[in-house]
A and B are shown apart, each in its own frame.
Chain A
Amino acid sequence: MSARLPRAAPAPSVLALLAIGLSIGGCGGTGDDKDTPPRTPGSRGPAGLKVYRHAMDQAPTSLDPVQAANVYANFVVLNAYDTLFAYKYLARPFELKTNLAADWPEISADGLTYTIRIKPGVRFIDDPAFADGVGREVVAEDFVYSIKRHFDPKTRPQGAWLWINRIVGLDEWKAAGSDYAAEIAGLRALDTHTIRIQLTKPYPQLLFTLAMGFSAVVPREAVAYHGREFAVHPVGSGPFRLTSYDTSQVVFERNPRFRPEPVDIAFEGYDEAQHGFSGVAAIDGRSPPFLDRLEISFIAESSARWSSFTKGDEVQYTSIPNEHVDEVLATKQPVTLKPAFAEKYHFFAGVEAGFIFNAFNMDFPEFGYNDDPERERRNKALRCAINKAYSWEQRNESFYMGLGNIFPGIIVPVSPEFDPGLSRDSVTRDVAGARKLLADNGWTPENLPPLVYGANSSVSSRLIFEQFRAWMKEIGYPREKIILKRFATFGDISRAWKQSQLPYVSKGWGLDFPDAENTLQLFYGPNSSPGSNDANYRDPEYDRLYELSSTMLPSPERTAIYQRMNRMLIDDCVANTGLARTRIYLWHKNVIAIPDREIIGGFFLRYVDIVDASTGTVKGGAR
């Protein structure tokens, strides 16, 4: 059941502002603070407003969907904008569902043509960019315009890689000067509510890309009206509308005109045994969003976030910092909380949709490809020896409190194609084997090549390097030949990887969508630097298999190809991988949510609700 709020009722946003004004006034001078709302993480203000306070470790640099290139931007953007598809709130493995799309697309038999209808009556928020300041209806042309922006260099787009060489005419449109008035054969609005996408070749991951913040739908007039300010002035049709944004915090209020769509909790993947504790069943049949106000603070220091969270000040939930894991957890396998924390907080533990790994840059002749076949053979032995000396177990214990999931290869545990039966030899430390491999291939401390190891300036990065260097010393690698090269920021070291300046890459990767293709492409030849293939691995057979699988729909045949590619990488010792971290989220018990943001990003925030502290029940009912 759903119903719009009566027009005569004061808009929640007005109430929110009034409440804030009252609370500020209360702090101002009377000294009587009995009406000041309690500063609890999720709280009801004096007018019963539901305020949710959340913290992230970094601030997004832009709220423009074309620049939503990191998890922080994606997290925020998905609350202000709509995407055609989205992920089910609770279903694991991850499952897509329609969002702005009215139904699943009609796909031609050859898999090249997608016809997608969008929901009628969806409106952008009110903004001066529109006639009379009233948000207009979202139409198919808005989607076409939004994707075109990724191929317009003037917008400084970062998501074009998702659709390059995929959509008929799109790359040519860019080459011809990105003229928005020009039609694109493969990307058209058939009418106000119908989109037609024609692909150059089958692209099974297309719908995943249409659930990412990159594909969020923006109105053309708002981009034109706000100009560069559009990056900090989102105008979307999402569940929330922005009220303020700076480097320390972004604040949203409920979008009062967000389309009413009652939640079907069973459809969203609800499992009583798994999710019952959280109370999320209470949102069944009600239309999100349930919050009146959403505050996301950006707090870089984990200890500060933790302190803020435990004080109940402004952080809604957090991942437990490493240094507090022993204090908080009663057991790690399975994860349980100590009574003092279990009494106050709900928790959720899950494997991250991503992993951390190391890879050799094959363009360095000292470790990778070499004109001399004999040296190339010895290089492979050297890479394998280094991988054997690497101790994922120790790294897990030191930096991830022993909670990480070590696995062989680059198909991560949350991928549907993950093979739990794959041999773990490649992630099992074997110092004697490493030494033998070096000796058998003529490597001595004198002729081992210097290995420059890049690290940013954080303490953890430095210790990870020192640990690596100590392991290498155990197999006879002289300490002075493992050279630390420091970078001030992650951006600096990332640039060095992209420019192929380092022989050894140590990084993390978060899945953009739940398909192993997203990690296998990290070693696809044409993606070499400055693309995502930082290892510059170029194997004709691997590339052939990648291209073959890239047009295949999910099937046992495709999975077999993925797993074969995975084994090729392991056998070539090009990468030393990997570890998927366990995310442990805690949240206060007056909040109804499962705050898992893996892949889903900020999409879950529309489903968050606050328990009425006075009654212990959720108020509101159907809207």
Chain B
Amino acid sequence: MNLAEIEAVKARAVASAMDAANAQDIEAVRIEYLGRKGLLPQIMKGLKDVAPEDRAAVGQGANALKNALNAALEKRLSELKANATHEGAPSAFDATLPGRWRACGTMHPISLVIEEAVRIFSRIGFTVAEGPDVETGYRNFEALNTPDYHPSLDNQDTFWLESGELLRTQTSPVQIRVMEKQPPPVRIVTPGRCYRRDTTDATHSANFHQIEGLYVDTDVSLADLKGTLAYFAQQMMGPDVNVRFRPHFFPFTEPSVECDFTCHVCLGKGCRVCKQSGWIEIAGAGMVDPRVFERVGYDAEAVTGYAFGMGIERIAMIKYGVPDIRMLYDNDVRFLTQFR
């Protein structure tokens, strides 16, 4: 076979490789040309009959035929494979099946708010302090300048225990614990569980969570308090949320204020959530009463401080739109899994 004939065979062979419709076709083309009894071995066998001066060229031609055909076959095979996937032909690989890896669990909304609040205050230098749920009457009331005839000492509001101790009605006793142990400055937040003898309804629960803050230093002002709560409000509820103060009364702060946040739903326009007022009452706060400083042995002339407290459940309910506090303690999995 001369070179021209070999070139013709090559063209024919490559063409049939390109036309192969499936893997069997490809195999058939391979056998026809490259198989033991195929055309290429015959060409090689006939090489001895070729004129010696042409033999090298013809041999190279045969080799080129073999390479070109192999390349063509391989290319066609991969094309067929790719097409098979694209055209949805039956395959072992179904990408639409559900993924198989365990999903993460979820954090309880109360923990979500506590952790978020702690992160926000941590950014501005507050550290967490904690204390026991079972407290002394002294730390829960007296040290906080709550006289022994104050109504909140009543059975009506406080769970007293047989031991003479009580379940703390606020996390403020932690502030006392910290100040008893540590000289100023103090810059703490105290998240934790509290207890009051409230009958459970949509907005009351006999156990609930608070986060309180305390900053005591040489020159702390009501303006610092306002700025800190404004920062918290924006970080927690959104950048367009502001705060306003209303005068109030708490035994352990003087002056005392209640702090409203702009309603994050309507941004102050008035809606159902804020009862059309544009504001939502969130925190109680004020400048630490000098009598509290005296109790813990601080020099009330030398230091000033602010304290604030907020209900975690209330923030969670407002932030996530939970209509009933009891849902937070019912632990329905369909509720829990919404807080990813």
Are A and B bound to each other?
no
